[in-house]
Structure 1
Amino acid sequence: MTKVRKAVIPVAGMGTRFLPVTKSVPKELLPIGTKPTLQIVVEEAVSSGVEEIILVSSPDKKQIEEFFSKKTSYDRKLAEAGKEAMLSGLYSLLSKVNITTTMQINPKGLGHAILCAKEAVGDEPFIVILPDVIIESKVPCCKQLIDAYVKTGCAVNATEHTPRNQIHLYGVYDIAKSEGAYHYASGVVEKPKAEDAPSDFSVVGRYLFPSELFKILEKTPPGKNNEIQLADGMNTLAKEGKMVAFEYEGRQFDTGDPLGFLKANIYYGHREFKNGVSNFIEEVIERNLLMM
C-alpha cells in the first residue's frame, strides 16, 4: 500500500464571517493563542508523518506564503536583533515538511479547490485538511485516518456524533454498516433537516482519499451555486463501497465560526496561560451575574 505522504489544505476562501479583519488578514492566520490556525493544522499533519503540504490559495493571500517563508524582511530584522529564537518552533516545523502553493484563480467550490492540487499530488493517496477545523487529540487525527486507511484500504473521513438540533449545520453520512469505529458510508447528505438526516454522524474537516478522487471530480458536473462539490465526489466513492466514516478520538473546534473561534481561544488559552484565563472567566461571569 502506498504511503500517505501528502496533504492538501484549501486556503483560498474569503473569510467573510470575520470581516472587517479578513479584509487584510487571511482567516487562516488568525491566532489561537499565539499560533495561527493554519500552523496548528500543519503541525498535526507533520506529526502524522506528512512530508509535503499543498496549499490551495488565492493570489490575494500572499501573506500565507510569507508566513511559511524564512526569507522575509521581518525574519531578517529579527535575526539582526538576535531574536530569531522566538521563531524557533516555526522554523523547526518548516524543516520537517515541504510546503508548496498552487493557486485557485476562480474559486468554484471545495471540490474544485482539491482538483487544483491534482498535479502536485499525482498518483498518491492524500489527506485533505480544512484549516477552519482544529482537533485536540492524543493521537493526531490525520494519523488516525492513515491507520484506518491502512486497515480498510478505503477512503477514510473523520466523523463524530452530532446533536440532532445541530445536524442541519453539517454534512451527514448515510451509513450502510458499522464495525466499531468504522462506519461504511453509502452516501453523504449536505445539511439535512433533523427529521431527514440519515444518521447523526457528521462530516468533520479531515479526509483521506485515493488519487482516484481527481478523476471523479473532473467528471462531476457543477452543483449548488454552480460549484464542484466535494460531497458529490464522496458520494461516488460511497456508492462504490470505497468510503469509511471513521469515528476519530478527539475534540474539534470550528474556528471558521466566530463563536467556535472564541471557544478555541479559551480552550487553548487556558492551557497556555492557565490560572490567568480561569480567573478572568470567573470575573466576567461574576460581573454579568451582578448586572442581571
Structure 2
Amino acid sequence: MWGYMRPIKKAVFPVAGLGTRFLPATKVVPKELLAIIDRPLLQYAVDEAIEAGIEQFIFVTGRGKGAIEDYFDMAFELETTQIGRGKDISALHGTRMQPGQAVFLRQQEPLGLGHAIWCARHIVGDEPFAVLLPDEFMYGSPGCLAQMVAAYERLGGNLLCTLEIPIDQTSSYGVVDPGERHGAVVEIKGLVEKPAPGTAPSNLILPGRYILQPEIMQVLGRQEKGAGGEIQLTDAMAALIGSQPFNGLTFAGQRFDCGSKAGFIEANLALALDREDIGDHILAYAADLIATIQKGRGLSRDVA
C-alpha cells in the first residue's frame, strides 16, 4: 500500500471536444449529450461516478458547450408543466445536481486531454481524483469506476483501467508496458501514447478511466507537448512511474467506443436488446432486417 489512503470524492469529466466525427449533429448538440436510447452518454458516466462514491463533479467544457450545464440544471418549465399535468418526472431525477455539487470550467484552447485535466487543478487541489471520458462507454455492474475504487482501496497509488485489443489497433491509444499480473490487476512499468505501428509494448490500452494522485497536476503544468502536438495525459503519467505506484485493472464488463459512429451504434443496439421494454421488439426487427439483407434486397433509400 502506498501513502495515506485518501478516498476518491472528486471526478473530472473532460467534455470540451468538438465531436467532429458526428457532424452535423454536433454543430448544436455536444457529443457528450448524444443519447444511448434515451440517456446521454454523459449521464451514464455521471451515474457510474455516483455509484463509485463521487461527491463532486468537475466538467471541463469549451465554447458552445453550454447545453451541458443546462442539462444538469433544474428544467423549471418542463417540470412544472409535467407535474401540473399529472405526469411522471422520475426520468429527470438523475439530471439535477445538488447546489455546489457540479463545477463547470472552460478549456479555452484545444491543447489536449492532459491540458483539459490541468484546467481543473484548483478544484482538485491536493486530493486524489478520478477522470472519466464519457465517449468511452463502460457498461457493466458494478460499474467500471466502482470496480476501480474497490481495487484502489487495496492498492493505493494511481490506478488505470486497462483493456486488451488487437495489436494492430494500438496506434490510436495510450498503451501499457506491463509488469507482473495478479488476476485482473497488472503492474504498469511504462506508458506510450499512440505508438507507431509495430512498436507497441503490449496490446493493453487505456480506455478512459483513471484514478490519479494530485502530483500529476505538477507534471501537466510543465505544458510539454507530445503526440499530435498536444499535452498528453499518458506522457504525464509515464513521467511519474517510478516515483509513484501505477497499476492497471481490467474492467469486468463491456466497453463501447462511442467516439466512433460504429461504436455508438453498437452501444445503442446492445442496450436496446438488454431493455425489458423494447428488447424483444428490437430483436425481432434486427432478425427481419438481417433476413432482408441476406436476400439481397437491402434497404430502400428512396424518399417519397
TM-score bin (small chain): over 0.9
CA distance in 2, matches of 1:283, 1:101: 45
The equivalent of 2:186 in structure 1 is 183
Please tell me whether residue 50 in structure 1 is matched to residue 70 in structure 2. Answer: no
Give the aligned residue type for 1:87: A
Residues 58, 103 of structure 1: 8 Å contact kept: yes
Alignment of 1:217-256 (within 5 A): 217-256=220-259
* Correspondence for 1:278 among 274, 283, 287: 283
CA distance in 2, matches of 1:96, 1:146: 25
* Correspondence for 1:157 among 160, 164, 169: 160
Q: 1:275 to 1:137 in 2, by over 3 A?
A: same
Q: TM-score, normalised by structure 1?
A: 0.93
Residues 133, 255 of structure 1: 8 Å contact kept: yes
Residues 193, 227 of structure 2: 8 Å contact kept: no
* Correspondence for 1:5 among 4, 9, 19: 9
The equivalent of 2:300 in structure 1 is none
1:159-213 C-alpha deviation (Å, 9 max, x unpaired): 0211223223322100132222221112212233553221121111100001111
* Correspondence for 1:35 among 28, 33, 39: 39
* Correspondence for 2:261 among 253, 258, 261: 258
CA distance in 2, matches of 1:135, 1:233: 24
1:244-280 C-alpha deviation (Å, 9 max, x unpaired): 1112211111111000000000001112211111011
1:16-49 C-alpha deviation (Å, 9 max, x unpaired): 0000000011100100010000001100000111
CA distance in 2, matches of 1:181, 1:96: 38
1:219-254 C-alpha deviation (Å, 9 max, x unpaired): 241223432111111101224352111122111111
Tell me the secondary structure at the aligned position of residue 177 of structure 1: strand
Q: TM-score, normalised by structure 2?
A: 0.89
Structure 1 gap segments, 5+ residues each: none
* Correspondence for 1:120 among 123, 133, 138: 123
Number of matched residues? Answer: 291
Superposed CA RMSD in Å reads 2.0
Q: 1:97 to 1:44 in 2, by over 3 A?
A: farther
Range moving further from structure 2, 228-237 or 166-175: 166-175
CA distance in 1, matches of 2:174, 2:196: 11
The equivalent of 2:69 in structure 1 is 65
Q: 1:31 to 1:71 in 2, by over 3 A?
A: closer
Tell me the secondary structure at the aligned position of residue 291 of structure 1: coil
Structure 2 gap segments, 5+ residues each: 298-304
CA distance in 2, matches of 1:193, 1:54: 33
Give the aligned residue type for 2:199: D
Q: Percent identity?
A: 35
Please tell me whether residue 289 in structure 1 is matched to residue 294 in structure 2. Answer: yes
